[in-house]
Structure 1
Amino acid sequence: MRPRWPWILLTLALATGHAYGDCPSTGQWWQAGGAVDAPTLLAQAAKQQVVLLGEQHDAEDHHRWQLHTLAGLYAHRADMVIGLEMLPRSAQPVLDRWVAGELTETALLAETRWEEAWGFDAALYMPIFHFARLQAIPLVALNITPELRQRLVQEGFDQVPADQRYGIPAPLPAHAAYQQRLTQVFEQHGMGQENPAMLSRFTQAQLAWDTAMAHGLAEAVKEGALAVGLMGLGHVIYGHGVEHQLEGMGIQHTLSLLPWEQAECRVTDPALADAVFVLPPSLTRGPTN
């Protein structure tokens, strides 16, 4: 089962929300403490090299928002690819066949080993998969298997042949604030607070995770495409995860976008992401991922 640490990162981040005189309304984009219209925001996003769309993995409205945002971006930039945290690099040939119209939904899920690789309800993601198939938008598997991630941590990137790590470079060191949040996650999970070696391995595993996704997006950018990455909120907030690793790969134009469920007159810390989209309060709430 995948680690569930990003929900704690998000909980910590949401605690920093601020109240404003003008309350954000459902359906608004909110940027730098104020509302911005959708055409302006999407035009800005389409000029970037990479756009990151965060998600709570089991939140249906988050995936609806992602789909609508992808459609808006595609209207501005037809040279777009969609990167997926959900699947490891080994699934790439299957994604290519899906976009080419050669697979049924059942075959897609079976051949990507969806339940083993990801485990969240595939129905939440299928509208996005079909959008990519109908528009012939390439889908890119960004992740690596837990086994490879563990090997990179234990042996070090330099000791794993490039072809066995998909050419993924060693990560940049964690930003100080990111390290602090990862340490909080580590401690709240009771993973051995007094064991610096375990904390180091935990941190390196998260950095390998971020770096693998950043590398997949950076490779898409080399072809001149707008690379849009779908991934958990914890990899996006404050720019300390994937965006930080992208900067180390020479990608300087990244925009981070998040969904925001509005329950009161309060909005996120403007530093949390470049912009947020205001969703209606969820009628049912499960654990955040």
Structure 2
Amino acid sequence: MMKALFTVFGLWLLTVTVQAALPDWQAPRGLEDPHLGQVLDTATGEWLAPGQLLERLLEAPYVLVGEKHDNPDHHALQLWLLEQLQARRPQGALVMEMLGPQQQAAVDEQQGRMLPEDAALVQALDWNPGWDWQHYGPLVRWGLAVPQRLLAANLGRDEMSALYRQPQPLSEVYRGETREALAQIMRESHCHKLPETQVPAMLAIQQGRDQRMAEVLQAAPTPALLLAGGYHVRKDLGVPLHWAGATAPRVLMLVEAGSALPDEAQADYVWLTPATEEQDYCAGIS
């Protein structure tokens, strides 16, 4: 009897160990960083193992995960995180910045069905080619396959166009330094080619997107997890500024080795990953 119990325990331990193994790194830089793959608790300064992060997120009804869109390790870790959380308790919803409201009906139609090959699924979902399917396809497939909701969190194209033409006033949450910090991000993301007259429109669109993400996440079945760009999840700039619920979301940012680490005012946890090859995103822009 005792031998059988030890055998069962050993198999369980092996399963947990296999499940907890992180995906192999794909990005080439920062591999020598001693904290690579570890998670910084910004409140305490403690570096956590990924398993410790899981335990801290298990009871959180809302989790925001911020990424660098073109880092493959960020997407691999997002999938790992979703799989590990789901293995420990049912996930209520996966919410994605990469999906707009015009796609929700198509998403709902595919939910829980036997999914077609990539080309057919991309067409069925009217997937935006601006989001690399190689990165996001596995996440979308996971969200459609498990018994939960996959929810669109972005504004529609028409909504963004309307905000660009007639920018809405900024909320009171964008006071002084917050507004200027976000405006500077807009300038930098447009390679300092954005006319100052267009900055208010860009801020209005950013505000609208963050407000929509907050609304969708708060209305989603819990536990709910949002995948979005790093600036969208920051506590001092993004979705948390528009949070109306009593329980604040936990903010996890995936950050490349060699980059400045967010502090407690910006994120709760920082997961350190390898960095992609350096590139000049503004090269060729006149």
Shift of 1:149: 2.4
Asked if residue 133 in structure 1 is aligned to residue 137 in structure 2, the reply is no
Aligned residues: 244
Alignment partner for residue 110 of structure 1, among 102, 115, 123?
123
CA distance in 2, matches of 1:229, 1:288: 26
CA distance in 1, matches of 2:232, 2:281: 14
Shift of 1:144: 1.6
TM normalised by structure 2 equals 0.74
> Secondary structure of the equivalent of 1:269?
coil
Q: Deviations over 1:112-150 (max 9, x none)?
A: 222xx3513201112212322342332101112232123
Q: Deviations over 1:6-33 (max 9, x none)?
A: xxxxxxxxxxxxxxxxx75222111122
Alignment partner for residue 37 of structure 2, among 27, 31, 37?
27
Alignment partner for residue 259 of structure 1, among 243, 254, 258?
254
Alignment partner for residue 229 of structure 2, among 232, 235, 245?
232
Report the structure number with the largest CA radius of gyration: 2
Shift of 1:267: 4.2
Asked if residue 80 in structure 1 is aligned to residue 77 in structure 2, the reply is no
Shift in CA distance, 155/262, structure 1 to aligned 2, threshold 3 Å: closer
Shift of 1:244: 1.0
Stretches of structure 2 that go unaligned for 5 or more consecutive residues are: 1-32
Shift in CA distance, 186/102, structure 1 to aligned 2, threshold 3 Å: same
What is the aligned partner in structure 2 of residue 204 from structure 1?
Answer: 204
Superposed, which structure 2 residues align to 1:1-289 within 5 Å?
Answer: 24-32=34-42, 33-104=45-116, 105-114=118-127, 117-152=128-163, 154=165, 173-188=173-188, 189-193=192-196, 195=197, 198-220=198-220, 223=221, 225-246=222-243, 249-263=244-258, 267-282=261-276, 284-286=277-279
Q: Deviations over 1:212-249 (max 9, x none)?
A: 111111110xx4x1110011111122442111112xx2
CA distance in 1, matches of 2:224, 2:275: 29
CA distance in 2, matches of 1:251, 1:155: 32
Shift in CA distance, 288/57, structure 1 to aligned 2, threshold 3 Å: farther
Shift in CA distance, 53/209, structure 1 to aligned 2, threshold 3 Å: same
Tell me, yes or no, if the aligned pair for 1:84 and 1:141 is still in contact at 8 Å: yes
Shift in CA distance, 175/50, structure 1 to aligned 2, threshold 3 Å: farther
Shift of 1:57: 1.3
Stretches of structure 1 that go unaligned for 5 or more consecutive residues are: 1-22, 159-169
> Secondary structure of the equivalent of 2:74?
helix
In the alignment, residue 134 of structure 2 is paired with which amino acid? Answer: A
CA distance in 1, matches of 2:68, 2:240: 18
TM normalised by structure 1 equals 0.74
Point out which structure has higher relative CO (alpha carbons under 8 A, 6+ apart).
Answer: 1
Q: CA RMSD in A?
A: 2.8
Shift in CA distance, 118/84, structure 1 to aligned 2, threshold 3 Å: farther
Shift in CA distance, 120/110, structure 1 to aligned 2, threshold 3 Å: same
Shift of 1:269: 3.2
CA distance in 2, matches of 1:74, 1:235: 24
- Please identify which structure carries the higher strand content: 1
CA distance in 2, matches of 1:258, 1:273: 7
In the alignment, residue 190 of structure 1 is paired with which amino acid? Answer: K
Shift of 1:210: 0.8
Tell me, yes or no, if the aligned pair for 1:53 and 1:256 is still in contact at 8 Å: yes
In the alignment, residue 269 of structure 1 is paired with which amino acid? Answer: D
Tell me, yes or no, if the aligned pair for 1:175 and 1:240 is still in contact at 8 Å: no
CA distance in 2, matches of 1:45, 1:278: 17
In the alignment, residue 280 of structure 1 is paired with which amino acid? Answer: P
Q: Deviations over 1:21-72 (max 9, x none)?
A: xx75222111122212333322222222311111111111110111111122
